[in-house]
Amino acid sequence: MALLLALLLVLVPAAAAAPPNIVILFADDLGYGDLGVYGNPTIRTPHLDRMAVEGQKWTDFYVGASVCTPSRAALLTGRLPIRNGMMSAKNRVLFPDSLGGLPQEEVTIAEILKPLGYATMAIGKWHLGHLPQYLPTRQGFDAYFGIPYSNDMDKTPGAPRGPELWKHPKIEYFNVPLMRDEKIIERPADQTTITRRYTEEAVRFIRRHKGGPFFVYLAYNLPHVPLFRSPKFAGVSLRGLYGDVVEEIDWSVGRILDTLEEEGLARNTLVVFTSDNGPWLIFDEFGGSAGPLRGGKGSTWEGGMREPALFWWPGKVRPGTVHELGSTMDLLPTIAAITGAEAPKDRVLDGYDLSPVLFGKGKSPRKEMFYWRGDKLFAVRLGRYKAHFYTRSGYRHRQETAHEPPLLFDLGVDPGEQWDVAGEHPDVIEKIRKLAEEHKASIEPVKDQLLERSPEALTSRAASAKATGGLPLGGAR
């Protein structure tokens, strides 16, 4: 009898420690200053604010690139996109006529979880290749429901030119396909209901697989322009149409959190919310805000790559504000650590395990951040200091400026990157310069997955530029 009791004491805790469910919620073009908990005065985000209060809010959290395609590749693989060809000097993102995508030899978060019995689903914007061999169902996901690239692509011949296209967008202006798994089920996608439908899909998947474990990757295709929201959210925000869109995303987050609690899953589910890059500032009030940070989408200033980031896991994540460095590339190794999955060991990973910070047991192992633009290393952060070797605005102004010595900013004092302190810290510059050279030496040449396009590419791109009055609507170039 004593032996039986001893066995039960061992087995019951083991059974209770089921692998945690994982939910990643990834906004599109949301700025650092677009949430209430990050200081926005007119966009109400009570559910995201709740995530911050009950979980962790990170102040220095970065993405792997300042535009869509490479940023998504970085999150799912834990690697800088320059390592796998998902970053290009020619094309900044994939287009509907692109012939490349995330190489199948890359290992995604979904693929490390599958051997542990996880049910996996990708929902929303993919943008890592629309051809069959690159779709989510070929990258570790059991199911997919969403659009294969940006919501502003595939403009129709009847779409208006210039500002009218994004100031008063209509569904029929964008022939974007909505897919289930590998089949198109709606074209053009009804973008006025798309956030709601993504949410409903996530809720159904969670309930269907509540016996767990499961992984949901929900990548909203908003608030990327063109902006759409459901009738229920029309005119609800003081911030106008952009605010309406963000507040509907906040509703979506709340619906998912509520579902996890209703199904008794909250205490065994890690939920992460962040964005793929900074706000698209050239669209004025139809773009977001980087808050106190300089620049936005497309640039290697802080506003282009530092994002809001929230971690929620009741009873596990230690509540508080974290001022240490983190990145979307850290999600794969962190998820591997907390689930017992095996991260790939046959390649360079650029991510770190953040679980000691999440659980209040240690500090972040990340001390540096590399800011690539195309095939060039523009800037490096080491600790609180960031050196810019090159600068260039995200859009419109195409001039690239080289800096020798590099610009240097103390991001602890000056997160807005206004005061160059290079003259005061030559020792810091030398440390960063050495780190940059060592890092560049670790990058091996690979095929540019964004370069090759179908023969019609040049014609369609010229027509796109003409239709939008020269602005890059139709993908972040």
Is there a contact between 377 and 81 (Cβ–Cβ < 8 Å)? no
Burial 16-26 (b: 16+ CB within 10 A, else e): eeebbbbbbbb
Containing 463, the helix (H) or strand (E) segment is: helix 457-467
* Residues ≥6 apart with Cβ < 8 Å to 287: 29, 31, 225, 242, 279, 280, 281, 296, 297
Question: Can you say whether the dihedral through the CA atoms of 234, 236, 238, 243 is positive or negative?
Answer: negative
| H helices, E strands: number in the chain | 12, 14
Q: What is the CA radius of gyration of the chain?
A: 22
Is there a contact between 229 and 282 (Cβ–Cβ < 8 Å)? no
Catalytic residue set: 68, 127
Query: What DSSP state is assigned to residue 13?
Result: H
Beginning with the edge strand found earlier in the chain, give each strand of the sheet holding 401-410 in spatial order: 368-373, 376-382, 385-391, 401-410
Task: Give the separation between CA 213 and CA 115, rounded to whole angstroms.
Answer: 11
Q: Return phi, psi of residue 439, to 5°.
A: -65, -45
Task: Give the separation between CA 245 and CA 223, rounded to whole angstroms.
Answer: 6
Tell me the CA end-to-end span of the chain in Å, nearest whole number: 70
Question: Can you say whether the dihedral through the CA atoms of 190, 192, 198, 201 is positive or negative?
Answer: negative
DSSP for 223-282 reads SSSSP---GGGTT--TTHHHHHHHHHHHHHHHHHHHHHHHTT-GGGEEEEEEESS---GG
- What are residue 187's DSSP bridge partners? none
Q: Is the omega angle on the peptide bond into residue 213 within 30 degrees of 0, that is, cis? A: yes
